[in-house]
C-alpha cells in the first residue's frame, strides 16, 4: 500500500482549451450540456436555413421568410446533447512504477483529470473511479466543484492491490445508467482474458482504452545482471537480461497489445498506448486528434 507522494501537476489543463471531446453520436440523445449537433426542428438557437423538402415538419417553416421570398425555408437549430463520461483509473501497485520520477499513476491521473476538465468545459457530467482488486464507485456529477473534488481525491489516492479489471468492470457496469463515454486508463498488464471480458462488457458504449507505460516497459533496454520485481505480488527475480531476453520480452508485449487492439477493433473501441516520457499535451493531441473522424 502506497500513498501518491507528489501532487498531480495541473498546469497543463489550460493547454487543453483548444480541444473538444468528440463523442460518437450513438451515445446519447438527451438535450442538456453543450455538445452541439445540427438538425431540423425545435432546439436552442437558429443556426441556418435551408430549402423546404417534402417530409419536413411544417412547424419548422419560417413563414416570415416565405412572406419576403415566396419560397419555403426551414430553420435548422443548434441542439445540445448530454453525455456522461465514466473514467476508470487503475490504482493497483503496478501503477506506482517507477520509484523515481513520474509514475504511471501520476501520468494516468493527469490523463483522467484532463478528460474530466474537457467534460466540465462542455457542462456535462463525469466521474473518476479508481480500481485495483476492487473498484471505488463515484456517482457522475457536473461542475467545477466536482472537478476540484476529483483532483483532491486523486492527490490523496492510495496505490495498492493487484489488478482485477474483469471483476471491477463487472461491478461497475451496474452503475452505468445510459449509453456513455467510458475511458479506462491503465497499464493493461493483466491477463488478456480479463481485459477482453472487460472490453466486451462495455462494448455498447463509446469506449476508449488508454494504456500508460513507462518507457522502460514499452521497450526493454536493461542489459546484464538485473533484479526484477512484480509490484503487485512483491516477488523478486534475479536474472541476466541478454539480447535474446530483450527480444522475447518485446515480442510477448507486442503480441499482448495486438490482442487488445484486435478486440477493440472488433467492438469499435479506441485503444492507445502512451509512455510517461511524452509531454501530456502531446498525449491529448494523439488521442483526441484521432477521434476527430467521428
Report pLDDT digits (tens) over 174-190: 999 888 999 999 999 99
DSSP letter assigned to residue 135: B
Strand partners, 273: 211
Residue 82 confidence class, pLDDT cut points 50, 70, 90 = confident
Q: Whole-angstrom Cα distance, residue 77 to residue 75?
A: 6
Residue 23 in grid coordinates:
463523442
Residue 241 confidence class, pLDDT cut points 50, 70, 90 = confident
Residue of 186, 201, 197, 207 whose CA lies nearest to 274? 186
285-288: long-range contacts at Cβ-Cβ below 8 A with a sequence spacing of 24 or more? Answer: 287/208, 287/210, 288/19, 288/21, 288/22
Residue of 207, 223, 224 whose CA lies nearest to 268? 207
Mean pLDDT rounded to a whole number for the chain: 83
Residue of 124, 275, 287 whose CA lies nearest to 207? 287
pLDDT above 50: residue 219: yes
Digit-coded pLDDT (tens) for 110-157:
999 999 999 999 889 999 999 999 999 999 999 999 999 999 999 999
Report whether the peptide linkage leading into residue 156 is cis, meaning its omega lies within 30 degrees of zero: no
Q: Whole-angstrom Cα distance, residue 27 to residue 179?
A: 5
Contact between 114 and 284 (Cβ < 8 Å): yes
Domain with CATH 3.40.50.410 in the chain: 2-28+83-293
pLDDT at 99: 86
Contact between 208 and 182 (Cβ < 8 Å): yes
pLDDT above 50: residue 43: no
Poorest-confidence range of 64-68, 88-92, 228-232?
228-232
The yes or no reply on domain 2-28+83-293 and CATH 3.20.20.70 is no
Q: Whole-angstrom Cα distance, residue 76 to residue 45?
A: 9
pLDDT at 63: 83
Q: Whole-angstrom Cα distance, residue 96 to residue 6?
A: 12
For the segment 197-202, the average pLDDT, to the nearest whole number, is 97
Triad 265, 269, 271: Cα angle to 5°? 85
pLDDT at 284: 94
pLDDT at 22: 64
Q: Considering the entire predicted model, what is its pTM?
A: 0.78
Digit-coded pLDDT (tens) for 96-119:
999 889 999 999 999 999 999 999
Amino acid at each position: 500500500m502506497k500513498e501518491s507522494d507528489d501532487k498531480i501537476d495541473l498546469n497543463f489543463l489550460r493547454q487543453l482549451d483548444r480541444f473538444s471531446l468528440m463523442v460518437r453520436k450513438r451515445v446519447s440523445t438527451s438535450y442538456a450540456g453543450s455538445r452541439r449537433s445540427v438538425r431540423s426542428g425545435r432546439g436552442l438557437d437558429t443556426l441556418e436555413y435551408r430549402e423546404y423538402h417534402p417530409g419536413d415538419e411544417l412547424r419548422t417553416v419560417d413563414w416570415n421568410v416565405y412572406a419576403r421570398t415566396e419560397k419555403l425555408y426551414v430553420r435548422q437549430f443548434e441542439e445540445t446533447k448530454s453525455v456522461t463520461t465514466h473514467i476508470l483509473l487503475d490504482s493497483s501497485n503496478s501503477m506506482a512504477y517507477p520509484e523515481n520520477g513520474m509514475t504511471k499513476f501520476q501520468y494516468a491521473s493527469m490523463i483522467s483529470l484532463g478528460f474530466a476538465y474537457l467534460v466540465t468545459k462542455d457542462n456535462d457530467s463525469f466521474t473518476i473511479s479508481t480500481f485495483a482488486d476492487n473498484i471505488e464507485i463515484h456517482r457522475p456529477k457536473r461542475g467545477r466543484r466536482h472537478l476540484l473534488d476529483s483532483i483532491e481525491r486523486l492527490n490523496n489516492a492510495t496505490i495498492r492491490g493487484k489488478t482485477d479489471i474483469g471483476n471491477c468492470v463487472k461491478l461497475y457496469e451496474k452503475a452505468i445508467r445510459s449509453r456513455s463515454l467510458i475511458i479506462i486508463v491503465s497499464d493493461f498488464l493483466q491477463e488478456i482474458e480479463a481485459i477482453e471480458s472487460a472490453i466486451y462488457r462495455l462494448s455498447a458504449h463509446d469506449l476508449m482504452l488508454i494504456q500508460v507505460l513507462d518507457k522502460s516497459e514499452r521497450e526493454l533496454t536493461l542489459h546484464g545482471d538485473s533484479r526484477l520485481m512484480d509490484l503487485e505480488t512483491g516477488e523478486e527475480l534475479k536474472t541476466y537480461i541478454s539480447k535474446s531476453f530483450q527480444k522475447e520480452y518485446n515480442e510477448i508485449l507486442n503480441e499482448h497489445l495486438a490482442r487488445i487492439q484486435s478486440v477493440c477493433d472488433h467492438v469499435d473501441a479506441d485503444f492507445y498506448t502512451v509512455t510517461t516520457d511524452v509531454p501530456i499535451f502531446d498525449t491529448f493531441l494523439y488521442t483526441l486528434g484521432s477521434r476527430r473522424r467521428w
